[in-house]
Amino acid sequence: MTALVSPAKIGFVGLGNMGRPMVARLAAAGYELHVADKDASLATDFAAVHGGRTAPSLAALAGAVEAVITMLPDGKVVREVLLGRNGLAEGLSPGSIVLDMSSSDPVGTRELGATLRAKNIDLVDAPVSGGVPRARDGSLSTMVGGDDAATARVRPILETMAKHVFLTGALGTGHAMKALNNLVSAGGLWIASEALLVGQRFGLAPERIVDILNASTGRNNSTENKFKQHILSRSFASGFSLGLMAKDLRVAADLAAVTGQPSPMTRLCAQLWSEAEGKLGGAQDHTAVIKVLEEDDGDGSAHRELVHKALGSEA
């Protein structure tokens, strides 16, 4: 089938922090959009500003389009939106394509792909990295899993939203890569937070610590793009929640278990972030995770307790 270039009819489900700027780029490129969200007012407001249509049900939306993009909290929600009552799969025509840009479980993605394939519907997984600012300017990176014909059909859509389009292989590999990317990102943020607070207690200025890290081998994405901007400023406004980060790390830990690869740091990182989610609440911005370390009582016991809980869960 031919590539889905503008003005192809595209559905977009999930108008959250990332979804809204992503679909706005599709609107600006001239795609005919049909939008939906659990909060119907988000879809109505988007259509009023950017154009596009809403529908009385997901099945009705799916019946009006050639492809549907999902940008949802996790794979369970994606599955429900597709296969639940009046879901997308009820309306999609044979030969349609689903592009899941959520951060979903890669094993579940392969299972969902098999279910949709039986209905002659293709599934491609294409999670993104870059956060809200890069969603706005179209400079996201996306990791794309699926068969060659399906990924070729959706590539023009992806290139409208992302500067870097990486083909990762078979279905599910995009979601696997996203989880592994966030594992490395979260590990870097956590250890940099520990280093900053240790240095601060010894008398180093936090801003100077960040400057030196960024000019040295300790530099990472968080030291460059999160510490001064969202942590030292106390804005905690990166646009990506603590709950979603903790979820992605659990996905990475599960992936390690499925593959049989010994990954003790992965398991520890996932557990530490899950414990932090329990303490702070998943709705907080993920950069607020440093509050867990700041709320220690001064002798490190609270942090040790957190680590012991994490390690204990692996016993």
Residues 100 and 184 in one domain: no
Residues 193 and 277 in one domain: yes
Q: What is the CATH number of the domain that holds 147?
A: 3.40.50.720
Q: Which domain holds residue 300?
A: 176-312
| 1 found inside a domain | no
What pLDDT was estimated at residue 303? 55
- Structure token pair of residue 74: 């996790």
What pLDDT was estimated at residue 299? 54
| 4 found inside a domain | no
Among residues 170, 190, 213, which one ends one of the domains? 170
Among residues 170, 185, 210, which one ends one of the domains? 170
Residues 146 and 16 in one domain: yes
Residues 115 and 237 in one domain: no
- DSSP per residue over 37-68, as a string? -SSHHHHHHHHHHH--B--SSHHHHHHT-SEE
Residues 209 and 305 in one domain: yes
Q: Which of 119, 178, 226, 291 is catalytic?
A: 178
Distance CA 287, CA 241 (A): 8
| 207 found inside a domain | yes
Q: Which of 313, 170, 163 is nearest to 253 (CA)?
A: 313
- Structure token pair of residue 129: 């990295």
Residues 101 and 186 in one domain: no
What pLDDT was estimated at residue 61? 97
Residues 165 and 194 in one domain: no
Residues 96 and 118 in one domain: yes
Q: What is the CATH number of the domain that holds 203?
A: 1.10.1040.10
Residues 130 and 181 in one domain: no
Among residues 140, 170, 200, which one ends one of the domains? 170
What pLDDT was estimated at residue 315? 37
Cβ(102)–Cβ(71) below 8 Å: yes
| 117 found inside a domain | yes
Q: What is the pLDDT along the chain (315 residues), one digit of tens a residue?
A: 789 999 999 999 999 999 999 999 999 999 999 999 999 999 999 999 999 999 999 999 999 999 999 999 999 999 999 999 999 999 999 999 999 999 999 999 999 999 999 999 999 999 999 989 999 999 999 999 999 999 999 999 999 999 999 999 999 999 999 999 999 999 999 999 999 999 999 999 999 999 999 999 999 999 999 999 999 999 999 989 999 999 999 999 999 999 999 999 999 999 999 999 999 999 999 999 999 999 865 555 555 565 556 555 543
Residues 215 and 300 in one domain: yes
> How many domains does the chain contain in total?
2
Residues 82 and 106 in one domain: yes
| 3 found inside a domain | no
What pLDDT was estimated at residue 33? 97
Residues 272 and 191 in one domain: yes
- Structure token pair of residue 101: 């840009």
- Respond yes or no: is residue 226 known to be catalytic: no
